[in-house]
């Protein structure tokens, strides 16, 4: 019933809007405190719509490009806003932007060399800041993305010596991740 009412609301109150499609692809790499042994690096792809200073996208990144044993996928949504845009020509600009998003990491990884690799899921909130160089036909973007997620409970176990009898206190709190993204944005030339 709730879905039906939501659908009726959207149909009745939808207004036409002008939004341009955008496609973003490139590379991302960084570190995640929930996966300290992984070297996260890989391709990413984002599809979305942009109107004025705002854009929204769904994105995907394969973060285990050079890992033999682990596999980490990240899929999410992001809302981006130009904080400041400076025009350097008729169809060229530079911009600083901020981004807010949410993502889900899924795959198989271990929290340390001593632990087995198991299937895991991790939800995270994301904040990003970046710089865009736009010209006719596209834009280069360089961003720093910060992710915040629940700390993995497997990080509470610690091995001391050969028999590993000692366990650390329960793992609580927030685990952070930092990713550097270098992407090409199609259809952004003004």
Q: What's the confidence (pLDDT) of residue 83?
A: 95
119-135 residue pLDDT tens:
889 899 999 999 999 88
Return all residues near 69 (Cβ < 8 A) that are at least 6 apart: 117
CA distance linking residue 89 with residue 136, whole number of Å = 10
Report the number of distinct structural domains present in the chain.
Answer: 1
CATH number, domain of 96, equals 2.40.160.20
- Provide mean pLDDT across the span 99-117: 85
- Provide mean pLDDT across the span 183-187: 84
Q: What's the confidence (pLDDT) of residue 176?
A: 85
Most trustworthy range by pLDDT among 59-68, 108-117, 145-154, 168-177:
59-68
CA distances from 106 to 4, 33, 78, 79, 164 (A): 31, 15, 18, 21, 28
Nearest alpha carbon to residue 36 among 147, 190, 176, 181: 176
- Is residue 5 included in any domain, yes or no? no
Given a cut of 90, whether residue 21 has pLDDT beyond it is no
Given a cut of 90, whether residue 37 has pLDDT beyond it is no
10-20 residue pLDDT tens:
555 555 556 67
- Is residue 25 included in any domain, yes or no? yes
- Provide mean pLDDT across the span 132-147: 89
- Is residue 142 included in any domain, yes or no? yes
- Is residue 127 included in any domain, yes or no? yes
- Is residue 42 included in any domain, yes or no? yes
Residue that wins the pLDDT comparison between 148 and 172: 148
- Is residue 56 included in any domain, yes or no? yes
Q: What's the confidence (pLDDT) of residue 28?
A: 93
- Is residue 6 included in any domain, yes or no? no
Return all residues near 66 (Cβ < 8 A) that are at least 6 apart: 39, 41
Global pTM value: 0.78
Burial class (CB in 10 A: 0-12, 13-18, 19+), 15: exposed
Print the domain residue range for 178.
19-186
- Is residue 44 included in any domain, yes or no? yes
Q: What are phi and psi of 177, to 5 degrees?
A: -135, 150
Contact between 83 and 97 under an 8 Å Cβ cutoff? The reply is yes
């Amino acid at each position: 019933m709730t879905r039906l009412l939501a659908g009726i609301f959207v149909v009745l109150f939808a207004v036409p809007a002008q939004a341009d499609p955008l496609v973003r692809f490139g590379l991302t790499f960084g570190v995640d405190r929930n996966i300290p042994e992984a070297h996260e690096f890989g391709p990413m792809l984002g599809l979305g719509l942009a109107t004025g200073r705002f854009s929204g996208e769904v994105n995907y990144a394969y973060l285990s490009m050079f890992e033999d044993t682990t596999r980490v996928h990240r899929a999410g949504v992001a809302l981006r806003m130009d904080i400041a845009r400076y025009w350097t020509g008729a169809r060229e600009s530079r911009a600083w932007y901020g981004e807010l998003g949410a993502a889900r990491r899924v795959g198989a990884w271990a929290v340390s060399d001593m632990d087995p690799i198991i299937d895991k899921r991790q939800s995270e909130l994301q904040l990003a800041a970046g710089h865009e160089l736009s010209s006719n036909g596209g834009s280069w973007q360089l961003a720093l993305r910060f992710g915040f997620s629940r700390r993995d409970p497997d990080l509470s176990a610690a091995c001391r010596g050969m028999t590993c009898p000692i366990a650390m206190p329960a793992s609580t709190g927030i685990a952070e991740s930092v990713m550097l993204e270098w992407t090409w944005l199609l259809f952004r030339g003004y």
